[in-house]
Amino acid sequence: MKIKDKEFTILINEADLQQRIGEIGRTINSDYKDKKPLFIGILNGSFMFVADIMKHISIPSEVSFIKMASYNEMASSGTVKELIGLNENIFKRHVVVLEDIIDSGLTISGVLDQFRERGAASVEVATLLLKPDALKTPVDIKYTGFEIPNKFVVGYGLDYDGLGRNTRAIYQLK
Ligand code: IMP
Ligand code: MG
């Protein structure tokens, strides 16, 4: 698959993605039974993951979305990011953050700090993808879909320069 100037090759196919997402969903159903969790997806990348995992969630729960807005262009190099769009009161709520990918871990660490400051009863992370070799800060991740090599990936919500989100599989840079 080609996006702009770059060639990508398949990394995780649709069937494997869906099977693993179903497994995580069922685990969350039993872990959060009677806790009425609030799922919070981090836009934009998590939109497909959230849509698909919610189809497996059968316990009473709510779902919402936030964005992390960068103060400047150097977002990926660790600038402070502001959490925007959270309308729910998360005080005493059991929050499950749904993320597409954890790379350096800086984005999710910022999100977790801000949720804990707001008095959530618990905050856990479910990430579809994790690049263990790229982590720059320790992150406590409760649910991980797939650990992947430290290579750039696109598809299934993840983008390369805004493009490539609209695929059913995940591809990695050749
Ligand atoms: P982190 O703060 O470095 O962990 O990066 C988190 C965010 O960067 C993710 O939510 C993605 O939006 C983006 N990102 C990190 N790695 C990739 C990748 O390989 N492809 C596309 N987006 C990525
Ligand atoms: Mg993201």
> Looking at the domain assignment, is residue 6 inside a domain?
no
> Looking at the domain assignment, is residue 4 inside a domain?
no
What's the pLDDT band for 82 if we cut at 50, 70, 90? confident
> Looking at the domain assignment, is residue 126 inside a domain?
yes
Tally of domains in the chain: 1
Residue nearest to atom 3 of ligand 1 (CA): 104
> Looking at the domain assignment, is residue 8 inside a domain?
no
Q: Which pLDDT belongs to residue 80?
A: 65
pTM: 0.94
Distance 68 CA to ligand 2 centre (A): 8
> Looking at the domain assignment, is residue 162 inside a domain?
no
Nearest ligand, measured from the Cα of 46 = 2
Q: Which pLDDT belongs to residue 129?
A: 98
The one catalytic residue among 34, 52, 103, 161: 103
User: Would you say 140 and 157 are in contact if contact means Cβ atoms under 8 Å apart?
Assistant: no
> Looking at the domain assignment, is residue 76 inside a domain?
yes
Residue 43 belongs to domain spanning: 15-150
**Which among 61, 141, 145, 143 is positioned nearest to 105, based on CA atoms?**
141
Is 34 a known active-site residue?
no
Express each pLDDT in 20-54 by its tens digit: 999 999 999 999 999 999 999 999 999 999 999 99
> Looking at the domain assignment, is residue 164 inside a domain?
no
- Residue 75 reports pLDDT greater than 70: no
Number of Cβ atoms within 10 Å of the Cβ of 52: 18
Instruction: Report the CATH number at residue 90.
Output: 3.40.50.2020
Residue 136, judged by CB atoms within 10 A of its CB (0-12, 13-18, 19+), counts as exposed
